Structure 1
Amino acid sequence: MLSNANPVHPQGPDDKIFKNRSITFHGGDHEAVLTLSYPEPDEIVDWTHDGAVNVNDQFKPPLSINFNFTGHFWQGVFGQVGLDVDLLRNKPGAPDWNSLADLVVTLREK
């Protein structure tokens, strides 16, 4: 089977130091903590305040991290991989997300 993919593997963040990071999301009487472990990024945009986000306030996306690849990425195209942490708010009047199944239904509709 023929393939246009170059056999050269991408040179990415393999040799970079890993960072461990937690973001706490506060909202009403609830709190959730997201813990991440990732190689040192090439670019980071961090809008969290002391590692915490109040979900009821106006906010920018809490965190965006990007990694540049210096080798062949996909099908020989140089590229960037990123991770964005954002918030999805439940629409007013919509049923509450009381379970993972409720949240999955909303995400699939988006």
Structure 2
Amino acid sequence: PFGPRFVQAGVQAGFRENLDFNGPEQEGVGMYQVTHKNGERFSAAKAYLTPHLSRPNLQVFTGALTTRIVLEKKRAVGVEFQHEGQLKQLRAAREVLLCA
């Protein structure tokens, strides 16, 4: 395959081999860890989020800032956040899921 030969050529040219670009150093030559489908890069959003955007129990807020997780008796029941200049609060029927 072309990839390992490319890395080998880079090392022979004086570049440091990098075995993990997700680690502390991003410089060097190496193989990138990517998710792909049919030869195309496939992001987490494309793989897991996009197919479910029409679900009635899913709300996605971009550009929001979480201010606190709403707790009742040490159990997360909702989330408070700022979105478009307003402080909002949503309560969950079953579970609270946050991602960044």
TM-score (norm 1): 0.21
More strand by percentage: 1
Relative contact order, CA 8 A, sep 6+: which one is greater? Answer: 1
More helix by percentage: 2
Which structure's CA Rg is the greater one?
2
